[in-house]
């Protein structure tokens, strides 16, 4: 049997998948929201609780890096819309490099904290929460990097334009989301430092 | 309408499907109907496993002083001398609860029927993201395997209750089940949550974006409404359990102190300081309470559909049904504190949680009355599905009434953690959801397998299960009021509980008989797959879209164009129409003799045409 499929139906599927991505971001947001509320409740439970240190400056650099990566992926997306694939590749690569740099900077921030004697295993769990926040975010960053690499492989293998465009569209939304989540977490932690 | 041949970017990769390999068709299938079957069969297997566990602990409760050598043969060191060990008893109740709540009533119910019904009833070729949908099943299967495997580790499966409260669950040395078993429990639930999120985003997105022409939200069957709202509740609450589980994992395995403080085990002081187990309870119940609604909401939708079809009447109060579903969903996320009245909660906060909890009685009562009103003067067909649907309403009412007691903070302090609670939730979410699920299996079996289930076996299954469930759970109310605590290993150690041992024997026999009745179901289910009576296209004479598809499953569901929808899904026994049902695909222009002016929603043109037709044909205009 040969089934014919409407073009309209394909576009509808694409729209639905994009919507599913937005929904899953609501789910991820709930994860961080619940962690934040757990942090607030825990920190309020005693005067000896709280972060009790100035956040490492590595967090500022990592914030700059991830914002930059959002800019580069924006340009990559612009390039793919103009069908400038070489440019798209360069910007995608830049985004991936910045993403990895972000990852490294976060790990560096952890080592700074450890040098200060602020360990993950800690009787003041507010300080453990800093690791949980950043760690859970990094777990999502790994997912984001995989998505970006898939885009890069796609454009290198010259997949059909419409699929390239679509992949990029999803990747851009997700990467911006990760950026925004990090800014939220950073501001949240700054307020509690 | 012009159609183009399939393009490479199409997500329906396998439209040429004659030559599909076995693996692609039955194992790594992206077809929503096959995924639904996978969910269902996995859930049935897990349900039987959980049933077996419950029979084991029922044996212990009924005959705490007797030896059953056969138990030692099967369970080895967990039942030395033929008597179940206390540690293993705790593991049994824990895993029974976990499997039933998560694997059967969540994945088995909404997983199966979201997958089967959403595309079929809204008129879509498949889910929004079929591949993600397949992943959802594989994560679910993975979590089932890990949970089952925890029975084969030396220290035994998790044993801190299905809620795995710390510190019992967080200190690996606390009891034997808190060792590797609990780690596996956490891993399993983590995978399960991923499965639920992947599935849930798909369900919501499919419903909102992939409906066929004419299928506006208010023309959707109540099954779709309930699955839609269930998925939203799941999406909002399941991620919170991830936080709870991740923090618990680090407390156990890394030595952090999120939940732990001031603990002494075997004379040794633990290093963990400053944590709060109450924090876990908040995080857990923020999911845990919505979770019980995730189990019951799909049953609501299914029962609405089955009752209406088999009463040959429109569902009573369609809009009220939808709004009450929404109300229950919203309320479900602001009542979790009622599980924690005895944690030293501020009485004012307890009062707030009590209020929000008791308000749930209103939308629930709306549903119960609407079900009854749907049955009222209906032309009722007592198919097995119908019996199970009525059974669901019965359990929902008997269990819902006790909810008024448990939700009341002052009474809850007395009955907290007693058998009253066990009785309450086994009625209102356990039996009710289970009966909803069985109603759905009997009702949609022809759609799943193209054959009919045997009615006689269905009736035997229903009556034994129905009476059995009442005999099992009803007496527990009285035990709870008397203060008998749940999760206790033997009642012979406490003089005031000894009188309940005889009741326990009754309960256990009832459980055994109800358990055996399930064999009728399984036989029916698997035998009918090949040998059942062949189903016709629309065996129940129902209106919804899934019955317009061919009996034989094809990828893409409809061979030609997807049908267009013109009317709501409950046009049963409409006066003036020769048939007692009008499918959703029949336009109003073909049913001039039965149209009501309200069917046209203030569409002036259509009303004018109808009025003219009425005049020409001497049809008395209906008042409404």
Same domain, B529 and B559: no
Last residue of a domain, one of B471, B505, B535: B535
The answer to whether residue A57 neighbours chain B at the CB level (below 8 Å) is no
Same domain, B424 and B560: no
DSSP letters of A61-84? HHHHHHHHHHHHHHHHHHHHHTT-
Which residues make Cβ contacts (< 8 Å) with residue B319, sequence separation at least 6? B218
DSSP letters of A8-64? HHHHHHHHHHHHHHHHHHHHHHHHHHHHHHHHHHHHTT-TT-S--SPPPTHHHHHHH
Interface contact B6-A24, CB threshold 8 A:
no
pLDDT score, position A46: 84
The structure tokens 């994992």 sit at: B249
Interface contact A3-B6, CB threshold 8 A:
yes
- B192: number of Cβ within 10 Å: 25
Domain of B67, CATH number, reads 1.20.210.10
Least CB–CB distance from A23: residue in B9, B201, B242 = B201
Residue B621 pLDDT level (bands cut at 50, 70, 90): low
Q: Let me know if B279 is exposed, middle or buried by CB neighbors in 10 A (0-12, 13-18, 19+).
A: buried
The tokens describing B88, both together, are 């293993």
The tokens describing B334, both together, are 């602001």
- Contact yes or no for B153/B180 (Cβ under 8 A): yes
Same domain, B78 and B183: yes
Last residue of a domain, one of B498, B513, B535: B535
Percent of chain B past pLDDT 70, that is, above it, reads 96
pLDDT score, position A6: 64
Least CB–CB distance from B235: residue in A13, A26, A46 = A26
Residue B598 pLDDT level (bands cut at 50, 70, 90): confident
Distance from CA of A36 to the nearest CA of B (A): 10
* B542 falls within a domain: no
Interface contact B18-A122, CB threshold 8 A:
no
pLDDT score, position B622: 56
Same domain, B223 and B336: no
Q: Residue B572's beta-bridge partner residues?
A: B581
Residues B73-101 have a mean pLDDT of 93
* B287 falls within a domain: no
Query: In this predicted structure, which of B94-98, B344-348, B379-383 has the lowest mean pLDDT?
Result: B344-348
The tokens describing A129, both together, are 């929460």
B97-106 per-position pLDDT tens digit: 999 999 999 9
Whether residue A133 has pLDDT greater than 90: yes
Residue B267 pLDDT level (bands cut at 50, 70, 90): confident
Residue to substitute from A2, A5, A46, interface B, most B β-carbons within 10 A: A5
Interface contact B257-A125, CB threshold 8 A:
yes
pLDDT score, position B342: 92
Mean of the per-residue pLDDT values for chain A?
Answer: 92
Whether residue B318 has pLDDT greater than 60: yes
Same domain, B64 and B179: yes
Same domain, B343 and B387: yes
Interface contact B210-A16, CB threshold 8 A:
yes
Q: Which of B127, B138, B123 is nearest to B27 (CA)?
A: B138
Distance from CA of B38 to the nearest CA of A (A): 22
* B137 falls within a domain: yes
Q: Which of B283, B371, B301 is nearest to B113 (CA)?
A: B301
Least CB–CB distance from B201: residue in A9, A12, A24 = A24
pLDDT score, position B298: 97
The tokens describing B515, both together, are 């358990």
Least CB–CB distance from B243: residue in A23, A31, A124 = A31
Identify all chain B residues contacting A3, using CB atoms and an 8 Å cutoff: 6, 12, 15, 554-556, 559
pLDDT score, position A79: 94
Identify all chain A residues contacting B206, using CB atoms and an 8 Å cutoff: 16
Distance from CA of A178 to the nearest CA of B (A): 16
Distance from CA of B486 to the nearest CA of A (A): 29
* B275 falls within a domain: no
Same domain, B484 and B395: yes
Q: Phi and psi dihedrals of B492, rounded to 5?
A: -80, -15
- B429: number of Cβ within 10 Å: 24
Least CB–CB distance from B239: residue in A10, A28, A42 = A28
* B276 falls within a domain: no
pLDDT score, position B19: 61
Stronger pLDDT, B99 or B10, i.e. the higher one: B99
Whether residue B20 has pLDDT greater than 80: no
* B610 falls within a domain: yes
Residue B6 pLDDT level (bands cut at 50, 70, 90): very low
Last residue of a domain, one of B535, B558, B591: B535
Least CB–CB distance from B209: residue in A15, A48, A128 = A15
Identify all chain A residues contacting B271, using CB atoms and an 8 Å cutoff: 123
Whether residue B5 has pLDDT greater than 80: no
pLDDT score, position B15: 44
Interface contact B128-A1, CB threshold 8 A:
no
Whether residue A71 has pLDDT greater than 60: yes
Same domain, B256 and B363: no
Structural domain boundaries enclosing B553: 548-624
B511-568 per-position pLDDT tens digit: 999 999 999 999 999 999 999 999 999 999 999 999 999 988 888 899 888 999 999 9
Q: Which of B123, B214, B128, B560 is nearest to A12 (CA)?
A: B128
Residue B350 pLDDT level (bands cut at 50, 70, 90): very high
Least CB–CB distance from A41: residue in B200, B256, B279 = B279
**Coil, strand or helix at B215:** coil
The answer to whether residue A4 neighbours chain B at the CB level (below 8 Å) is yes
Least CB–CB distance from B12: residue in A5, A16, A162 = A5
Same domain, B151 and B178: yes
Mean of the per-residue pLDDT values for chain B?
Answer: 92
- Domain tally, chain B: 3
- Contact yes or no for B234/B196 (Cβ under 8 A): yes
Residue A48 pLDDT level (bands cut at 50, 70, 90): confident
Distance from CA of A16 to the nearest CA of B (A): 5
Interface contact A16-B205, CB threshold 8 A:
yes
* B252 falls within a domain: yes
Interface contact B559-A38, CB threshold 8 A:
no
The answer to whether residue A161 neighbours chain B at the CB level (below 8 Å) is no
Residues B505-510 have a mean pLDDT of 96
ipTM of the complex: 0.93
Whether residue B497 has pLDDT greater than 80: yes
The helix-helix angle for A58-81 and A85-115 (nearest 10°) equals 170
Same domain, B528 and B553: no
The structure tokens 């060990």 sit at: B85
- Contact yes or no for B373/B323 (Cβ under 8 A): no
CATH superfamily membership of A57-192: Cytochrome c oxidase, subunit III, four-helix bundle (1.20.120.80)
pLDDT score, position B193: 96
Ranges of each domain in chain A: 57-192
Identify all chain B residues contacting A12, using CB atoms and an 8 Å cutoff: 209-210
């Amino acid at each position: 049997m040969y089934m014919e499929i409407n073009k309209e139906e394909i576009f509808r599927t694409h729209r639905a998948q994009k919507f599913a991505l937005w929904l899953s971001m609501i789910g991820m947001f709930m994860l961080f929201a619940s962690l934040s509320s757990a942090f607030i409740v825990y920190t309020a439970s005693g005067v000896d609780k709280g972060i009790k240190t100035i956040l490492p400056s590595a967090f500022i650099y990592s914030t700059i890096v991830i914002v930059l990566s959002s800019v580069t992926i924006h340009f990559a997306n612009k390039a793919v819309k103009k069908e400038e694939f070489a440019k798209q590749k360069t910007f995608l690569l830049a985004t991936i490099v910045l993403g990895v740099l972000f990852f490294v900077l976060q790990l560096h921030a952890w080592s700074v904290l450890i040098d200060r004697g602020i360990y993950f295993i800690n009787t003041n769990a507010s300080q453990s929460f800093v690791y949980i926040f950043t760690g859970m975010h990094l777990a999502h960053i790994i997912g984001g990097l995989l998505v970006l690499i898939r885009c890069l492989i796609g454009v290198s293998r010259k997949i059909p334009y419409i699929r390239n465009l679509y992949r990029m569209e999803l990747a851009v939304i997700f990467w911006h989301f990760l950026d925004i989540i990090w800014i939220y977490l950073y501001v949240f932690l700054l307020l509690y430092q | 309408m012009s159609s183009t041949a399939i393009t490479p970017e199409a997500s329906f990769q396998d439209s040429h499907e004659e030559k599909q390999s076995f693996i692609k068709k039955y194992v790594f299938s992206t077809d929503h109907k096959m995924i639904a079957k996978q969910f269902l069969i996995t859930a049935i297997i897990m349900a039987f496993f959980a049933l077996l566990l419950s029979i084991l602990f029922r044996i212990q409760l009924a005959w705490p002083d007797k030896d059953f050598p056969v138990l030692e043969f099967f369970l080895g060191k967990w039942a030395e001398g033929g008597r179940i060990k206390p540690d293993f008893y705790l593991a049994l109740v824990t895993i029974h609860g976990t499997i039933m709540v998560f694997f059967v009533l969540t994945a088995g119910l909404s997983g199966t029927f979201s997958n089967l019904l959403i595309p079929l009833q809204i008129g879509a070729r498949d889910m929004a993201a079929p591949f993600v949908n397949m992943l959802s099943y594989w994560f679910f299967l993975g979590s089932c395997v890990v949970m089952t495997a925890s029975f084969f580790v030396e220290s035994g499966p998790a044993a801190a209750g299905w809620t795995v409260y710390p510190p019992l669950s967080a200190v690996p040395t606390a009891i034997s089940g808190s060792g590797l078993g609990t780690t596996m429990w956490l891993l399993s639930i983590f995978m399960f949550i991923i499965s639920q999120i992947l599935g849930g985003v798909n369900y919501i997105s499919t419903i909102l974006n992939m409906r066929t022409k004419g299928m506006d939200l208010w023309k959707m069957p109540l099954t779709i409404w309930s699955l839609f709202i269930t998925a939203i509740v799941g999406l909002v609450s399941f991620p919170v359990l991830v936080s709870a589980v991740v923090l618990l994992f680090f407390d156990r395995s890394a030595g952090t102190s999120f939940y732990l403080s001031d603990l002494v085990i075997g004379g040794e002081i633990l290093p963990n300081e400053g944590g709060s187990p109450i924090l876990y309870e908040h995080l857990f119940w923020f999911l845990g309470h919505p979770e019980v609604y995730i189990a019951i909401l799909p049953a609501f939708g299914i029962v609405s559909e089955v009752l209406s079809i088999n009463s040959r009447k429109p569902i009573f109060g369609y809009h009220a049904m939808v709004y009450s579903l929404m109300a229950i969903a919203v309320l479900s996320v602001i009542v979790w504190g009622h599980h924690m009245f005895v944690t030293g909660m501020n009485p004012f906060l307890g009062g707030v949680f009590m209020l929000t909890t008791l308000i749930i009685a209103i939308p629930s009562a709306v549903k119960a009355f609407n079900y009854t009103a749907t049955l009222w003067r209906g032309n009722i067909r007592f198919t097995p599905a119908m019996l199970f649907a009525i059974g669901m309403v019965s359990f929902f009412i008997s269990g819902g009434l006790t909810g008024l007691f448990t939700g009341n903070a002052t009474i809850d302090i007395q009955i907290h953690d007693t058998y009253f609670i066990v009785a309450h939730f086994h009625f209102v979410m356990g039996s009710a959801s289970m009966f909803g699920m069985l109603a759905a299996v009997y009702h949609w079996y022809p759609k799943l397998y193209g054959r009919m289930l045997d009615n006689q076996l269905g009736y035997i299954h229903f009556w034994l299960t129905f009476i059995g469930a009442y005999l099992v759970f009803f007496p527990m109310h009285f035990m709870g009021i008397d203060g008998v605590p749940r999760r206790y290993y033997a009642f012979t150690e406490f003089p005031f509980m000894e009188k309940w041992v005889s009741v326990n024997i009754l309960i256990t026999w009832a459980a055994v008989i109800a358990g055996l009745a399930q064999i009728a179901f399984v036989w029916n289910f698997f035998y009918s797959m090949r040998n059942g009576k062949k189903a016709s296209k629309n065996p129940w004479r129902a209106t919804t879209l899934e019955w317009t598809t061919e009996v034989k499953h094809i990828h893409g569901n409809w061979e030609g164009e997807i049908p267009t929808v013109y009317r709501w899904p409950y046009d049963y026994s409409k006066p003036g129409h020769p048939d007692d049902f009008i499918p959703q695909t029949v336009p109003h222009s073909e049913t001039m003799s039965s149209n009501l002016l309200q069917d046209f929603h203030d569409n002036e043109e259509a009303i004018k045409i109808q009025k003219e037709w009425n005049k020409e044909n001497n049809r008395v205009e209906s008042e409404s």
